[in-house]
Amino acid sequence: MLTDELKEKLVQTALQACQWSYSPYSHYAVGAALLTRSGRIYDGANIENAAYPTSICAERVAAFKAVSEGDLEFEAVAVVTRNGGTPCGSCRQVLSEFGLDAAVLIADGEGKIVQETTVRELLPGAFGPQKLVE
State which of positions 9-48 bind ligand THU (CB under 6 A): 23, 26, 28, 30, 46, 48
- For 21-51, b/e burial (b = at least 16 CB within 10 A) is bebeeeeebbbbbbbbeeeebbbbbbbbeee
Find out whether 71 and 44 touch, Cβ atoms under 8 Å. Answer: no
Identify which of residues 38 and 88 has a Cβ nearer to ligand THU in the complex: 88
- Give the rounded distance of the alpha carbon of 47 from its chain centre: 14
State which of positions 105-124 bind ligand THU (CB under 6 A): none
Is residue 59 part of the annotated active site? The answer reads: yes
**Which of 5, 59, 73, 134 is an active site residue?**
59
State which of positions 73-92 bind ligand THU (CB under 6 A): 85, 87-88, 91
**Total residues interacting with ligand THU, rule: CB under 6 A:** 14
Report, as residue numbers or ranges, the catalytic residues: 59
